């Protein structure tokens, strides 16, 4: 673990705020953007909750435009997303992998919606339309990987090239 000012790095792409009264400004966004650029998966986050067991999970996340997020769903948990920088399209899917809804997202002032609340149990992903997409994500805890499922009809995140090709066929 290394200290990065007010943030403690616990993994290559993950930081935690060190102050219980956590604030984030331009330095936080710059930290995760630079970390994402150096990460093989082109992503980084700062967690503002104290640990994975916290009831509220609040994360500031940067995703490089070449990132691939496998369509996935969260069992019994909604998630909210507020765009701070960049543009992306949120895709929602049915059980078989057909796109059921598209939502262009952008920062406030872009003319696009800047906020969504994803209902529980819905497969979803983002197609990034910029070099760096920065957002605030909130969900309920505790964090339990068994409470999420990657879509079996989509490439795994371990194959980002196939994932980007899969998403490019859906884009439009």
List, for residues 10-66, the tens digit of each pLDDT value: 999 999 999 999 999 999 999 999 999 999 999 999 999 999 999 999 999 999 999
Q: Indicate which CATH number applies to the domain containing 160.
A: 2.60.120.10
Q: Is 30 exposed, middle or buried (0-12, 13-18, 19+ CB in 10 A)?
A: exposed
* pLDDT per residue as tens digits for the range 59-116: 999 999 999 999 999 999 999 999 999 999 999 999 999 999 999 999 999 999 999 9
- The pTM score is 0.93
The first and second tokens of residue 166, run together, are: 């899969």
Q: What tokens appear for 21 in the block?
A: 């009264």
Q: Which two tokens stand for residue 26?
A: 């331009």
What 3-state DSSP class applies to 72?
A: strand
Cα-Cα-Cα-Cα dihedral sign, residues 40, 41, 44, 45: negative
- Structure-derived torsion over alpha carbons of residues 103, 116, 167, 156, reported in degrees to the nearest 10: -160
Average pLDDT over residues 117-139: 97
Q: Which of 163, 84, 94 is nearest to 122 (CA)?
A: 94
DSSP letter at 91 equals E
Structural domain total, the chain = 1
For residue range 130-159, what is the model confidence (pLDDT) as tens digits?
Answer: 999 999 999 999 999 999 999 999 999 999
Domain membership of residue 100 as a residue range: 2-170
Q: What is the mean pLDDT of the chain?
A: 94
Q: Mind listing the pLDDT tens digit for each residue in 77-93?
A: 999 999 999 999 999 99
Closest CA to 79 of 62, 59, 51, 109: 59
Q: Could you tell me the pLDDT band of residue 170, with boundaries at 50, 70 and 90?
A: confident
Residue 4: per-residue pLDDT: 53
């Amino acid at each position: 673990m290394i200290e990065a000012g007010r943030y403690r790095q616990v993994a290559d792409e993950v930081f935690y705020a060190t102050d219980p009264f956590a604030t984030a400004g331009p330095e936080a966004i710059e930290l995760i953007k630079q970390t994402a650029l150096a990460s093989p998966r082109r992503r980084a986050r700062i967690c503002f909750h104290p640990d994975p067991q916290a009831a509220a999970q609040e994360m500031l996340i940067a995703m490089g435009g070449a990132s691939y997020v496998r369509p996935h769903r969260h069992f019994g948990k909604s998630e909210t997303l507020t765009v701070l920088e960049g543009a992306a399209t949120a895709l929602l899917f049915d059980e078989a992998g057909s796109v059921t809804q598209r939502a262009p997202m952008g920062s406030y002032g872009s003319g696009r919606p800047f906020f969504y609340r994803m209902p529980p149990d819905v497969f979803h992903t983002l197609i990034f339309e910029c070099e760096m997409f920065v957002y605030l994500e909130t969900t309920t805890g505790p964090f339990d990987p068994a409470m999420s499922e990657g879509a079996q009809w989509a490439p795994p995140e371990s194959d980002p090239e196939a994932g980007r090709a899969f998403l490019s066929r859906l884009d439009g």
